[in-house]
Amino acid sequence: MGSIHEVGSGDKSLLLDLKIDPEKSRSLILYTKVDLAQAERMRELAEKFGTVTLLLHLYFSILYDAGMFGNQRTYGLHPVFRFDVSKAQMQEWIDGWNSSYARSADLPSSVPENVLDDYSEAVSTFNINAYKASVAMARRALQQALEDKGATKGSKLLDQINELEGKGLLSKPTSYLAQAVRAFGNYGAHPNDDLLAQITRDDAETALMAVKKILNELYK
């Protein structure tokens, strides 16, 4: 079961201590974190069964006066709400979560929308085990970012990386990472020498993490 959070509270889990007077009400927006692996498992269940069932557990207490001073009592409540989520709705949620993840994964706010969109798609395809597509989109996000930072458009990615390194916009270690992503993206360019088919989950994850580091350096 995930921890419950109140919107605006950051990453801190909280136990809400609220007093609501009789005949009064209070509205709260709560959310629970779902990591991308859990989201993918939910998608798989929706694919298999047509729907996925979510259960919302709420725990709260009611204080009431038993009629005599000092006899206040607590009545605990634990309602459970069931939601049957369709396959289409689950996919829509996951698409949104992937997009939000890409935009909130410690990336600077100055990263352009088109670069974020490519990175988001790289994350999304990674989460459905489409590792070749993920690597290709990670490479695309890299090239979009390099060109946004002034690399010569239309040049080979190799030359663009060297160009920005020469301008001091990429450090030597980060330039090496960019070259690794470039190499991944070049797989499959020639059918007779197709290394793209050999891309593993670890390779795709490495490409995603490398592009994330590069974006942080370019847009710090």
**Is position 135 within any domain?**
yes
pLDDT at 75: 77
**Is position 93 within any domain?**
no
- Same domain for 213 and 123: yes
pLDDT at 8: 41
pLDDT at 168: 92
> What number of CA atoms fall less than 13 Å from residue 39's CA on the CB side?
23
pLDDT at 29: 67
Q: Which of 57, 86, 115 is the last residue of a domain?
A: 86
pLDDT at 148: 95
- Same domain for 110 and 26: no
H/E element holding 80?
strand 80-86
Residues 6+ apart with CB under 8 A from 50: 86, 87
Token pair listed for 184: 């991944």
- Same domain for 164 and 59: no
- Same domain for 54 and 119: no
- Same domain for 82 and 41: yes
The segments of the chain whose pLDDT lies below 50 read 1-13, 188-194
- Same domain for 211 and 114: yes
**Overall domain count for the chain:** 2
Overall pTM > 0.75? no
Question: Looking at the DSSP assignment, which residues form a beta bridge with residue 56?
Answer: 81
pLDDT at 2: 38
pLDDT at 13: 46
